[in-house]
Amino acid sequence: MQMTIIPNNPNANYLAHKDEIDTAVSRVLNSGRYILGQEVESFENEFASYSGVKFGIGVGSGTEALHLSLRACGIGKDDEVITVSHTAVATVAAIQLCGAKPVLVDIDLDTYTINTKQVEQAITNKTKAIIPVHLYGHPSDMEKITEIARRYGLKVIEDCAQSHGAIYKGRKTGALGDIAAFSFYPTKNLGAIGDGGIVVTDNSEFAEKLRLLREYGWRQRYISEIPGLNSRLDELQAAILRVKLRYLDEENSKRQALASVYNERLSSSNLILPVCNSDVTHVYHQYVVRSSHRDALREFLQKKGIGTLIHYPVPVHQQPAYKNSLICFSMENTERAVKEIVSLPMYPELTPDSVIQVADTIAEWKEKT
């Protein structure tokens, strides 16, 4: 059946800002400067300021933002990096790209973020960093994570791919660790029209190294001071992101309002609804519920024209490419979650009436089961 309510809609976000985006794109096309020009520099400064840090370094993708963050921290062959299995595979891929060993721990079943109790158990003399993932837009328990990191001399690299604008105890994600990586994949809360990413930090040495790493190790053109690669945020995407950044808080507020409608309308259902801890601001990149009858629910919604997704159906420690190359701790919560989670439609252009329709359809499904 044709979807009448789709799970996400990046085209709607483009249309919401079409005139401003088209003007920005035209400005870049007419400028004749397409790589690392004024648009990238301006966006880097604007996003760093928004995040509450000193430096922003635009790169080619969220995966590269993580990869280069790790390399800027000096992490490489035979080092160990602790993160979660319940995440986009990019988190783990970035660790392996720099030659380090991923060490995967479980999640907290309420927030789907890293289980801080397991983190300390996973630390060895090879451990160099922790990557907390602010999954679905809910910040990890950064106070506990940074306390552990300080005690063991570890770096904290935030994976903020899903948490643009989220707040933990008064500070935005991205300003809570040593360095942080953001993705601008089109469906993100702040999404480009293509790939893109940024690294933010207060550390001037990291920032300088990142600028070298993203472009062949060049400080002077064609002279490589250190081994680097090609990972540059381009001028077109930066110009588009500058437009969208101005609306990020407003659009996050829309997501929060839609989540409130879901919470109210689904309060009497048998679904497990998202948790939002009292000391955080959740930005609902995804609105994720749990059901022991998840697959039947998805099938019923699809027949009614409502699309859903699963973020993520197979944890990294069970993926064919990674399952034999990881250090892995108990995954009881992760393995339970992946069998039950479903992401309901969520994007700022979604209407409250559509959310009510989704909730009413879930109520109809409940009556039939």
Average pLDDT over residues 90-104: 97
- At residue 152, the pLDDT reads 98
Please provide residue 278's backbone torsions phi and psi, each rounded to the nearest 5 degrees. Answer: -70, -20
Q: Which residues of 110-148 are buried (b: 16+ CB within 10 A; e: fewer)?
A: ebbbbbbebbeebbeeebbbbbbbbbbbbbbbbeebbeb
Q: Which of 32-41, 156-165, 360-369 has the lowest mean pLDDT?
A: 360-369
Query: Is domain 10-245 given the CATH code 2.60.120.680 in the classification?
Result: no
Angle at 153 between CA 150 and CA 155, to 5 degrees: 85
Q: Which of 48-57, 180-189, 257-266, 358-367 has the lowest mean pLDDT?
A: 358-367
Q: Residue 35 half-sphere exposure, CB side, CA atoms within 13 Å?
A: 6
Mean confidence (pLDDT) of the chain = 97
Average pLDDT over residues 247-265: 98
For residue 99, pLDDT beyond 90:
yes
- At residue 67, the pLDDT reads 98
Average pLDDT over residues 347-351: 98
Rounded to whole angstroms, how far apart are CA atoms 243 and 103? 38
**In the structure, what pLDDT confidence band is assigned to residue 225 with cuts at 50, 70 and 90?**
very high
Average pLDDT over residues 226-251: 98
For residue 77, pLDDT beyond 70:
yes
For residue 3, pLDDT beyond 90:
no
What are the extents of the domains in the chain? 10-245, 248-368
Q: To which H or E segment does residue 340 belong?
A: helix 332-340
The residues with which 220 forms a beta bridge, in sequence order, are 223
**In the structure, what pLDDT confidence band is assigned to residue 1 with cuts at 50, 70 and 90?**
low
- At residue 2, the pLDDT reads 81
Q: Are 119 and 107 in contact (CB under 8 A)?
A: no
**Helix, strand or coil, per DSSP, at residue 172:** strand
- At residue 219, the pLDDT reads 94
For residue 298, pLDDT beyond 70:
yes
Average pLDDT over residues 136-143: 98
The residues with which 133 forms a beta bridge, in sequence order, are 159
By C-alpha distance, which of 124, 133, 68 is closest to 106?
133
Q: Are 100 and 83 in contact (CB under 8 A)?
A: no
For residue 24, pLDDT beyond 70:
yes
- At residue 344, the pLDDT reads 98
Average pLDDT over residues 229-233: 97
Global confidence as pTM: 0.98
- At residue 13, the pLDDT reads 98
**Helix, strand or coil, per DSSP, at residue 66:** helix
**Contact residues for 132 (Cβ-Cβ < 8 A; gap 6+):** 83, 84, 113, 114, 140, 141, 142, 145, 156, 158, 159, 177
pLDDT in tens, 105-125: 999 999 999 999 999 999 999
Residue in the structure block whose two tokens are 């989704």: 358
CATH of 248-368 among 3.40.50.10490, 3.90.1150.10, 3.40.980.10, 3.40.50.720 = 3.90.1150.10
Burial of 293 (0-12, 13-18, 19+ CB in 10 A): middle
Angle at 9 between CA 7 and CA 15, to 5 degrees: 160
